[in-house]
Amino acid sequence: MAKPAKKRTPKAARPRPAAPLPAAGNLPSADVLDRLWSVVMERRAADPSVSHSARLLSRGTAKVAQKFGEEAVECLIEAVAGNRAALVGESADVLYHLLVMWVAAGVEPAEVWAELQRREGISGVVEKALRPKVLMGTTKIP
């Protein structure tokens, strides 16, 4: 008796193997954010005609925040569109502009890392319920 033919999954529907990770010593790390923040700090005094960071910072915190918002919206658009590669690129733009905004506002990464560490292990629902409901005269969205 012959064996029944095996059903084959169409090639497009088969799960793709994950891309191999770099060697352990070469793994990407959040340390890159601390290094990038240091570079942006150094560029504050640079000539705005040759440094994008200096040009952004010379425009003031409000303009830096506006640019961050624009980049965040572009990131959201790519996420909703399902464009993974563009989402990765836009995410890098968002992180860069967030760091520029921190520099403009005098915030150091260690302050943010400490706040994240403080929240670690606390339910997001509980943590959010403990936050003040009003921020700078506006009501936060629940």
23 or 39, which is more confident? 39
Helix (H, G, I), strand (E, B) or coil at 12: helix
Q: Do residues 68 and 91 touch, judged by C-beta distance below 8 A?
A: no
Alpha helices in 1-142 (DSSP H): 31-43, 52-58, 61-81, 84-105, 109-119, 124-130
Instruction: For the chain, give the longest Cα–Cα distance.
Output: 82
**Entry pTM:** 0.71
The region that residue 119 occupies, defined by phi over 0 for left and psi between -120 and 50 for alpha, beta otherwise, is alpha
pLDDT at 70: 97
What mean pLDDT is predicted for residues 10-14?
47
Tens of pLDDT, residue by residue over 64-120, are: 999 999 999 999 999 999 999 999 999 999 999 999 999 999 999 999 999 999 888
Helix (H, G, I), strand (E, B) or coil at 140: coil
pLDDT at 123: 82
What mean pLDDT is predicted for residues 57-63?
96
**Residue recorded with tokens 């629902």:** 125
Least confident of 17-21, 31-35, 52-56, 78-82: 17-21
Please tell me the total number of residues recorded for the chain in this structure: 142
Q: How many CB atoms are located within 10 Å of the residue 123 CB? A: 9
pLDDT averaged over every residue in the chain: 83
N-to-C CA span, the chain: 65
β-pair partners for 135? 138
Domains of the chain: 30-119 (1.10.287.1080)
